[in-house]
Amino acid sequence: MSNIVDPLVERIGARVRAERDRRRWTLSELAQESGVSRAMIHRIERGESSPSAVVLGKLSAALRLSIATLLDPEEVPDRVHRADAAPRWHDPETGYVRRQLSGPGFPAEVAEIRLPAGAHVPYPAAAFAFHRQIIWVVDGRLTFHEGATVHELAAGDTVELGPPQPCAFANETEQECRYAVVLVRGDAP
């Protein structure tokens, strides 16, 4: 077993812990609010486990924060973000890779996502509350499930999310799909 600690996994754990402490929630209270087991939250907070995209979505929904907020450091970084220096978060279950393009001080959150062939990443409706989002497919094809509606998106296509509903990002092709998510905080649509 490796003792190498991933700094991004540590940072996610520290952020989840800080947000839980800020709310004065116990592990059990966050588990109840998120639907994530108390043991898993404990492992995440200690930096012992990298959350999957699904778990991260559930935690962000319970904490009423965007996924980007859980991944970003709280300090304000340099305004120039070098592609080779940007931290990338890998979903251990699907291989999904997320790179934050905007810093924590910017008014919109912009992320690049690389979704491997065959990957399917669901999020609960609460993950989309209090945010306005647009998804822009850069390369490949994305099947985006927004509640009961299915959007088949090709390179160059965009979709603006409507009222919060359970959503899923799926790549039903044999090629990687690359898309951008632009999120603006505000009232739920």
| pLDDT tens sequence across 117-138 | 999 999 888 777 777 899 999 9
Q: Are residues 67 and 96 in the same domain?
A: no
Within the chain, which residues score under 70 in pLDDT?
1-5, 72-82, 85, 185-189
pLDDT at 78: 63
Q: Are residues 104 and 172 in the same domain?
A: yes
Which of 42, 71, 100 terminates a domain? The answer is 71
Does some domain include residue 151?
Answer: yes
pLDDT at 113: 95
Domain that holds residue 65: 7-71
Q: Are residues 107 and 56 in the same domain?
A: no
Per DSSP, what are the bridge partners of residue 133? 183
pLDDT at 116: 97
- Cα separation, 158 vs 137, whole angstroms: 6
pLDDT at 152: 98
pLDDT at 41: 93
Which of 71, 105, 121 terminates a domain? The answer is 71
| Buried-state track 5-25, b at ≥16 Cβ within 10 A, e below 16 | eeebbebbbbbbbebbeeeeb
Does some domain include residue 149?
Answer: yes
Does some domain include residue 79?
Answer: no
Cα–Cα distance list, 154 to 138, 140, 172, 173 (Å): 8, 6, 12, 11
For 139, the 3-state DSSP assignment is strand
How many domains in the chain?
Answer: 2
pLDDT at 1: 40
Residue 67: CATH number of its domain: 1.10.260.40
pLDDT at 157: 98
pTM of the model: 0.71
Q: Which residues touch 2 (CB under 8 Å, ≥6 apart)?
A: none
pLDDT at 150: 97
Continuous segment of H or E residues that includes residue 120? strand 120-123
